Structure 1
Amino acid sequence: MPVTADTPGLLDGLTVLDFSQFLSGPFAALRLGDLGARVIKVERAGGGDLCRGMYLTPTDDMGRDSTLFHTINRGKESFAVDLKDPDGLAQVRALIAGADVLIQNFRPGVIDRLGLGQRAVAEINPRLVYCSITGFGTEGPWVARPGQDLLAQARSGLMFLNGDEGQGPLPFGLAIADVLAGTAIVQGALAALVRRGRTGQGGHVETSLLDCLIDFQFEVLTTYLNDGGRLPERAGYRNAHAYLSAPYGIYPTADGYLALAMTPLDRLAPLLDPLELAGLGDSAPFRRRDELKRRIAAQLSERATEAWLAVLEPEDIWCAGVLDWDSLLREEAFRRLDMLQELPRPEGDAMHTLRAPIRVDGARPRGRAAGPALGQHTEAIRQEFGL
């Protein structure tokens, strides 16, 4: 049966309490919601998730919740409460007693001071899967530092894999630490739910932005650790991977850019100008990497991207045109993915956003609505739980 907004998902019947803000925790809750779980977003009364006021573009209406908030919190319910008020805290404890998963990304120690740390909550609901995301773990000198994506990237060593040699550190243009941490929490939560199905016991799943950024580099860090601690050298020209030689990289063409992946030079050379590449073969892949890349770039710049694809793809050269968002959305391959959806906002208008990147029994889950208004479901949830 196709999975739609009106049919059960894989996690139908499970309740997730999302105490988190910004991206990492809310992203994890979003994915569990995409899989069919009910997600109740527990927010500060009077303010809510700080992401509600995080406006990224001039077209975002600053008189309402940001598009970013709706993107990360679509389909959730909002329960507004003052956690410092004894009555509000009692209501939250009642919600916890009936929940299956709790996600929080407070700074270490904050949620414990509220009386909602993992050990305290386990006494309320021993079957609960409790999920914690921090910036830099729960021990060590960085514990109290702000757990923000760019700062985590800066401390992870990741930035020195991007850009050309001598360029200096270069961050990813995405909140990659947040998304990776959210993904890791979903994996851990699902595994803990499987264990609970066997034993009846919940558990504590933890990760940090730094954990996930270090794990993201597992391939190259393993190389470094087994290479005597020698740091990799980025290419000085068109670097794309510090440990891979030419032609691996992105090259300008007459009308755009072309990506070349792992391709033996003796297969690529006859399709370009063999004389230009003579003497720069695999025998010295790194010693003359920049020189070889410059010669390849000079030839690729003479023709359009599609012209090169017509030459290289039939010869099984691993290559691709480099697309921006406008060109990506015009591609038939993108249309076939069926990744776009339109969801209603509480204000009444529609928001265009993406769907989950998975299919269940051949169908991609659809959302029901954008993010909730602050406290939109508080009274209904109180009545439902008898608060």
Structure 2
Amino acid sequence: MRRNPWIALASTLLLVASIVACTATPPPEPSATASGDALFAERMTAALLQWRASPSTGQFAYTIPGTAVAASVGDGDVVATSSGEGDPGEPLAPDAAFHIGSMTKLFTAALVMQLDEEGALALDDTIDRWFPAAPGGTEITVRMLLQHESGLAELDFDLVGHVTPQELIDQVFIEEPVFSPGTEYEYLNAGYIMLGRVAELAAETPYEELVRTRFIEPLGLTSTYLDGEATGPQAVNGFVLVCDTGEGADCLKQHGAVKPQSPSPQWPGAWSAGSMVSSAPDQTVWIRALVGGDVVDAEHLEEMLELSTNSTEFYAATYDASGVPHVQLGEGAGLATWEIPDVGICHGHAGAIPGSNGIAAYCPEADLAIVILNAIEPAGLTPGYPGLTPLTAGVLWALGG
């Protein structure tokens, strides 16, 4: 979860253009006798070091303290590697648990799709069915929430982690909407908090139980759980960029320092919009299962993948104004789509929350599932696809693709 998913997009897109070359020249071919994880790690060492040293706020460069990467091709095993630290003085393990922020939204979107398939709700239901106080609730549909087209106001982030999800929603409803429902695209964390409540009310079951019994347990995701309501491996705290005016996004175009991240109320408070904890290997299994068609039926997967017109127009206009090649093509009802050089189209979701950011993506042309988790929520580094552009082609090469 993040305050603004496209902070100073023009300047951060320039960074993307400058670091695409990170994977252009692979390191020397290592011995083929190494085990899968060891071979992958050896092949990815140089690329990960280069990636970690690449961010900039526009005023100064800094190093990502730690990055974990996991991937698989086809039905092959998931392999993973890591570089750097997850906490001060602690080497980051390839299977380390992270707070994955908005990558949580894929679990919420898939849950809503399953409930639509089962008839517990309908994507065309208007949200006044569950939220009579919602401004414009007779016009806002479940699908609009999934596609970030409701026009409702964003969360009060100062309340996140201090009040219940329903109280967060109630606060949104007293704010003036920002546009008419269905007319624009604007990334909205509040919409996915509402979807979590919609799922609970429609299924008459707590959100945590729904995602655990439908997704986490069946897929064997042993490092994945909803923070604040379930338990699992301790997540790394990660790091934060600190400057004179604040931290994280506040430091764009300023000098700053990388410091340890303190526990954040957003970790449990982001709930169905961003409270999941998971690892790179778990997320690789999850994104392959979801985009590969093993979680929702073909009709609902198409709903998740089909880019909304409002989102494609938004991203096209933003890239055109920045003068750099288009990367993110838009969003559907839960899944984002990117076009990655030398790899092709990829579908998935990114996330950022205090202490970390990352992405899970599946690239069908290469039959590649890839997950990148970084132990910092940075400024000046595009949160929409952190590491996907500079690392994916190299990961595919490292897997022998």
Structure with larger Rg: 1
**Normalization by structure 1: what TM-score?**
0.24
**Normalization by structure 2: what TM-score?**
0.24
Query: Larger relative CO (CA 8 A, sep 6+): 1 or 2?
Result: 2
